[in-house]
């Protein structure tokens, strides 16, 4: 698959704080790439560097084969950070109309309608933004991000501070856009969300990428490889090895349940960040 984003030894410092420290990234066309880490790890800084909002101290970046500061790049990418920039006193339709003009979209009435349908806001087109729920506002930001049909989306914690039902709606939108061909760069500190959505992930800690790969690869690599045997006397963890397991079963008496301890991305991340401290 083609790499449409590539960063080599990307470094950015703010005063005495090194936000990013010689980071390497490759994002393939058509994938959802998760960039994971706690608040302050450097996720938003990375997006600003990849989208031409900040200059790096050192390192090289190409986006869609070009420098991210190239003028034509802006019309080929979509950036979703937060709900700032929405005009609260205007309607949903009027908000999109402004951005359609900014992008020079032709036949904008048709495009606005199609975009509102995609994010399920067509019925709210004439409603003022200040009257929208938080979830509806988030979908409007999504609409603003995709109205010019970018092939590459940068989504910065798009489900942060949303209730579970609304967060699921946003994840469904991300899947839909990806199925329709969009490549997605997703930052999040929600490991369960990344496990559910992403084809590949990179784990960021204190400005450094400490591991990368598919969620399944990382979970298998760092799995504790243990099973839990439940008896009338309680639970016992046993290494997932034939001899140890057989011996434990012989000594256990009546076995009520046996199940493997499935690894999670959260477990992987906690393991790696503890090692880095």
pLDDT tens digits, residue range 119-177?
999 999 999 999 999 889 989 999 999 999 999 999 999 988 888 988 898 899 999 99
pLDDT tens digits, residue range 25-72?
999 999 999 999 888 889 999 999 999 999 999 999 999 999 999 988
pTM: 0.84
pLDDT tens digits, residue range 202-239?
999 889 999 999 999 998 888 666 666 676 566 766 65
Domain 3-219 -> CATH class = alpha beta
Measured between alpha carbons, how far apart are the two ends of the chain, in Å?
A: 35
The domain segmentation of the chain, as residue ranges, is: 3-219, 225-260
């Amino acid at each position: 698959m083609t790499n449409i984003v590539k960063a080599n030894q990307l470094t950015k410092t703010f005063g005495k704080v090194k936000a990013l420290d010689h980071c390497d990234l490759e994002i393939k066309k058509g994938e959802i790439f998760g960039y994971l880490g706690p608040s302050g790890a450097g996720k938003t800084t990375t997006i600003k560097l990849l989208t031409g909002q900040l200059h790096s101290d050192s390192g090289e970046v190409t986006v869609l084969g070009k420098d991210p500061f190239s003028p034509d790049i802006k019309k080929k990418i979509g950036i979703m950070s937060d709900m700032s920039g929405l005009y609260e006193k205007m309607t949903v339709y009027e908000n999109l109309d402004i951005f359609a003009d900014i992008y020079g979209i032709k036949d904008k009435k048709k495009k606005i309608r199609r975009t509102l349908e995609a994010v399920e806001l067509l019925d709210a087109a004439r409603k003022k933004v200040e009257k929208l729920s938080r979830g509806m506002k988030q979908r409007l930001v999504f609409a603003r991000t995709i109205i010019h049909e970018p092939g590459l989306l940068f989504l910065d914690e798009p489900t942060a501070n949303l209730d579970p039902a609304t967060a699921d709606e946003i994840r469904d939108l991300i899947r839909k856009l990806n199925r329709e061909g969009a490549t997605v760069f997703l930052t999040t500190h929600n490991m369960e969300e990344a496990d559910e959505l992403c084809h590949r992930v990179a784990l960021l800690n204190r400005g450094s990428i400490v591991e990368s790969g598919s969620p399944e690869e990382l979970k298998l690599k760092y799995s504790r490889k243990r099973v839990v045997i439940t008896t009338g006397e309680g639970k016992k963890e046993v290494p997932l090895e034939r001899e140890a397991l057989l011996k434990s079963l012989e000594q256990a008496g009546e076995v009520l349940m046996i199940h493997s301890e499935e690894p999670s991305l959260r477990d992987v991340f906690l393991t790696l960040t503890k090692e880095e401290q």
